[in-house]
Amino acid sequence: MIKKLSRPDLMSLEQYASERTRLRSEVIAHKQVRNVQVGPNMTWCFEDYITIRYQILEMLRAERIFESDGIRGELDAYNPLIPDGSNWKVTLLLEFPDPDERRVALEKLMGVEDRCWIRVSEMERVFAIADEDMERTNDEKTSAVHFLRFELSPSMVQAMKSGASLSIGVDHDNYRHVQSPLPAPIRDSLARDLT
């Protein structure tokens, strides 16, 4: 069973303030083998216990949350983003620095979150289950941020544990890009998420 975060896994605001610089450096290094650029305007951030712990600590700091109910709310909101052992959970970022370009692109990319896929070796592609917490696309445009879950079959999990290659991509009419195969350090990091 994959560990979820609980109150003892966190730090007080004071303790976090003193350790923030060190933790930030560690998380940046950790994310180097968990973030993947898919085409020029999309990044997949494969979440795990370390990335989500850091995100919660940053939220508690930014919002100055120190009461039990507030902390519990953050844990409840972010724990679902930690993989469960048979899946990967991804924060998808659509990145267009220019606001006008972003508006036009997000209109053209409606539904892109449902067209993201992973493929273990030569097995069947697995398409994302997107935005389970709330709908992020409306009648006019998609959101710049989506949350994806990729559910793997037991044979896919076993293949990943045995060193199989991993490819990821997007198959949308207005955005088609593939990363194949992912570099070994990224593949190995993601394989460790699976039980």
Domain residue ranges in the chain: 1-32+49-81, 83-195
pLDDT for res 167: 98
Give every CB contact of residue 87 below 8 A, 6+ residues apart in sequence: 149, 150, 151, 152
pLDDT for res 131: 86
What totals of helices (H) and strands (E) does the chain contain, helices first? 6, 9
Q: What is the tens place of the pLDDT at every residue in 152-190?
A: 999 999 999 999 999 999 999 999 999 999 999 999 999
Q: Which two tokens stand for residue 178?
A: 């593939």
Dihedral angle over CA of 143, 58, 150, 103, nearest 10: 10
pTM here is 0.93
* Contact indicator for 144, 93 with CB cutoff of 8 Å: yes
H helices of the chain, in order, are 13-31, 49-63, 68-78, 99-108, 154-161, 184-191
pLDDT for res 140: 85
pLDDT for res 186: 97
What whole-number distance in Å separates Cα of residue 109 and Cα of residue 142?
6
Give every CB contact of residue 116 below 8 A, 6+ residues apart in sequence: 38, 44, 90, 92, 127, 128, 130, 148, 168, 169, 170
Q: DSSP 3-state assignment of 37? A: strand
Instruction: Specify the amino acid at residue 120.
Output: V
* Contact indicator for 181, 26 with CB cutoff of 8 Å: no
pLDDT for res 134: 64
Q: What are phi and psi of 145, to 5 degrees?
A: -130, 130
Cis peptide upstream of residue 40 (ω within 30 degrees of 0): no
Q: For the chain, which residues score pLDDT lower than 50?
A: none
In Å, how far are 22, 52, 101, 123, 172 from 113, measured between CA atoms?
Answer: 34, 21, 19, 21, 9
